[in-house]
Structure 1
Amino acid sequence: MAKLYFRYGAMGSSKSANALMVEYNYRERGKKALLVKPQLDTRDGDAYVSSRIGLKCRCIYLEQLIQMQEQELRAYDCIIVDEAQFATKNQVEFLVHLVDDLKIPVICYGLRTDFKREFFEGSMWLMAWADVIEEIKTVCWCGKAATCNARFDEAGNMIRSGEQIVMGANDRYIAVCRRHHRNGHIK
């Protein structure tokens, strides 16, 4: 039975690496998995998903997936969406359609919340509609579970206001525990 999965974690929890490994596992077994990401995410170059540990694979954009014909979609055994927090409500509804109507499993990877601990649109609807919700764990600098994403400036100070979406990785964000997020301690 096809299901919609949402596998979330803080920055640096290996979400993209997990997505790439799942795609590889499908391919290794002779199955067709389609790797997808929202077009908003341009950090890895045009139509690529890559991880901090060096794994990289071509993908298509979520916007392209939605334009595909039903016959094309049915050729896939699984759809894997990286950076799913950037999806819109309508795009998440489309992923639900793939699962419920076309019987294609969809595995989404993304952040649950932003640097202010507020939901992204895609994450909110995935939390509401996913059949399976799983946390990918990582640790804070103190050793406790890191569940929050802290954005910081050039001086290393935690930022608490600003645009929700500012692309970056280790150069702008660090995963911390809730206590250190509340206290503003990123190291």
Structure 2
Amino acid sequence: MAKLYFRYGTMNSGKSIEVLRVAHNYEEQGKKVLLLTSVVDDRFGVGKVTSRIGMDKTAIAVDAQLDMRALAERERPNCILVDEAQFLNKEQVGVLIDIVDELDIPVIAYGLRADFMGQLFEGSNALLAAADTIEEIKTVCWYCDKKAIMNMRCKDGEPIFHGEQIQIGGNESYVPVCRKCYAAKRKNAVHE
């Protein structure tokens, strides 16, 4: 019986390298994988899963027009892997649920749990509510040795706590932090 998995972590926790590793393992065994990523994250080009350590793989870009169910029915993969799943909307997560439940194809979705203000993304919220299995991909705080659970947005190396929920970026824009360091930096931030 197929399951829906949600594997979440902060920025820089290794989610994309994990997606690439799992895809490689399936393909090395001669199994078919559908690799999907949100059209929203275009840092390395639309339709690319890229790890900060330099590995990448072409993926299918998920946008509002993509019929993921028809794609899954046509391709009949052994597994569907989704990178940047936080950018999915509730309806798209519903399609993934249907793929698991009705087509018996496992789906493993990777993404951020929350934004830089500690608010859930729409896709993450839907995945947390419906996933059969929820797993955390861990990393350490940028400032101390505690487990990072927050994403802190920075501009010119300084933490900022305002702006749109979605701002695409990497190490130049976000650092993983623990809740204590996040709170301390927010308390000391210049108020806009």
* Interval containing the TM-score (normalised by the shorter chain): over 0.9
Within the alignment, does 1:96 sit opposite 2:100 as a pair?
no
**SS at structure 1 position matched to 2:103:** coil
What is residue 123 of structure 1 aligned with on the other side?
A: 124
Q: Are 2:99 and 2:105, in contact at CA under 8 Å, matched by a contact in 1?
A: yes
Q: CA deviation at 1:65?
A: 4.8
Q: Are 2:89 and 2:122, in contact at CA under 8 Å, matched by a contact in 1?
A: yes
1:19-34 alignment runs, 5 A limit:
19-34=19-34
- Superimposed CA distance per residue, residues 115-136 of structure 1 (whole angstroms, 9 cap, x where no aligned partner): 0010000000000000000000
**SS at structure 2 position matched to 1:30:** coil
Q: CA deviation at 1:157?
A: 1.9
- Superimposed CA distance per residue, residues 48-86 of structure 1 (whole angstroms, 9 cap, x where no aligned partner): 10100111000001233527355314x200000000000
Q: CA deviation at 1:46?
A: 2.6
Greater CA deviation, 114-123 or 42-51?
A: 42-51
Letter of the 1:153 counterpart: K
What is residue 47 of structure 2 aligned with on the other side?
A: 47
TM-score, length-normalised on structure 2? 0.92
**SS at structure 1 position matched to 2:11:** coil
- Superimposed CA distance per residue, residues 123-153 of structure 1 (whole angstroms, 9 cap, x where no aligned partner): 0000000000000000013110001000011
1-structure distance, mates of 2:43, 2:71: 28
2-structure distance, mates of 1:33, 1:120: 26
Letter of the 2:117 counterpart: K
2-structure distance, mates of 1:89, 1:12: 25
1-structure distance, mates of 2:148, 2:27: 32
Structure 2: 5+ residue stretches without partners: 187-192
Percent identical: 49
**SS at structure 2 position matched to 1:167:** coil
What is residue 14 of structure 1 aligned with on the other side?
A: 14
Total equivalences in the alignment? 184
Q: Are 2:38 and 2:47, in contact at CA under 8 Å, matched by a contact in 1?
A: no
Letter of the 2:83 counterpart: D
Distance 1:56 1:38, change over 3 A: same
Distance 1:176 1:67, change over 3 A: same
Structure 1: 5+ residue stretches without partners: none
Q: CA RMSD in A?
A: 1.5
2-structure distance, mates of 1:106, 1:83: 13
Match of residue 142, structure 1, among 141, 144, 149: 144
What is residue 172 of structure 1 aligned with on the other side?
A: 173
